[in-house]
Amino acid sequence: MNQVATNWKDYECIDCGNGEKLERWKDVVLRRPDPQVIWPLENKDSLWKHPDAHYHRSKAGGGQWEYLKKIPSEWTIQYKHLTFKVAPTGFKHTGLFPEQAANWDYMMNKIKNSNLEEIRVLNLFAYTGGATLACASAGAEEVVHVDASKGMVQWAKDNMKLSNLSHKKIRFIVDDVMKFVQREKRRGRTYHAIIMDPPSYGRGPNGEIWKIEEQLYPLIQACLEILDDDALFFLVNSYTTGFSATVLHNVLHATVLKRFNEGILSCGEIGLPITLSKTILPCGIYGRWERTNDTIL
């Protein structure tokens, strides 16, 4: 089952080709590399030739932005009732992955339609807080946001304020995710929903090494120790090249579904609609277990 983020107004994937994508972020048009785009470019209109900014990769690694027009160093875009700060970074990213709106819609729908009196959500590798704010705005009693990067956590706090959600109970934690999960187990804390977006490779705040192929399975097992008996959903998102939806399905089948044999397990690609070609840009994979409303304890 594939998920496509079709409800954007402030974001648009205009076109893709020759290893690049052309995007509109509200009023700003950006041209960026994308390794998934292996097909040729067919529409060479003026937007391709004259974007507001173009990210050029360096053969030595990394890259830099070429600004063809004067644009703000940062600006905001909206998704439904949520507001996010976006800004071109030195690593080609903007601080937001718009395809994740498909997951946000899912989370908000599950929380709003749940018959649980109280929902606690844990968001691991939480980045700038898209999922955190989606869950808080939908009515989660508490959302715990964990990321190893102080800068990303601060960005998430900025997004919370922009979305007028400062009154919600959101805990922002700078920590290694495994260490945090293990501490929550010792505290006896549980969550009704757990979300994670693990990188291929990363470091914790104290130099802890993360490799997805070695540590995803143990992390999910640890998370099951703090997943409430009345759990609502468990969602994993991944951008790791070569890590297929089938592999993720097998991992979740051997962990989450082993504990909760009721409910639904689904996995697939997540993507964005491409306006000009009417096709889909694949952006990663997701896997989720969800308890249906009629099976909540």
Tens-of-pLDDT digits for all 297 residues of the chain? 799 999 999 999 999 999 999 999 999 999 999 999 999 998 778 889 999 999 998 877 789 999 999 999 999 999 999 999 999 998 899 999 999 999 999 999 999 999 999 999 999 999 999 999 999 999 999 999 999 999 999 999 999 999 999 999 999 999 999 999 999 999 999 999 999 999 887 777 777 776 887 889 999 999 999 999 999 999 999 999 888 999 999 999 999 999 998 889 999 999 999 999 999 999 999 999 999 754 443
pLDDT at 279: 97
**Would you say residue 180 lies in a domain?**
yes
137 with 264, same domain: the answer is yes
pLDDT at 97: 98
What pTM does this model have? 0.94
**15: which residues sit within 8 A by CB, 6+ positions away?**
21, 22, 41, 43, 47, 48, 274, 275, 276, 277
Q: How many structural domains does the chain have?
A: 2
Q: Are 5 and 98 in contact (CB under 8 A)?
A: yes
138 with 279, same domain: the answer is yes
Name the nearest CA neighbour of 123 among 79, 177, 185, 82. Answer: 177
65 with 120, same domain: the answer is no
Q: Helix (H, G, I), strand (E, B), or coil: what is residue 216?
A: helix
219 with 132, same domain: the answer is yes
Give the range of the structural domain holding residue 247, as residue numbers without chain letter.
98-295
pLDDT at 295: 44
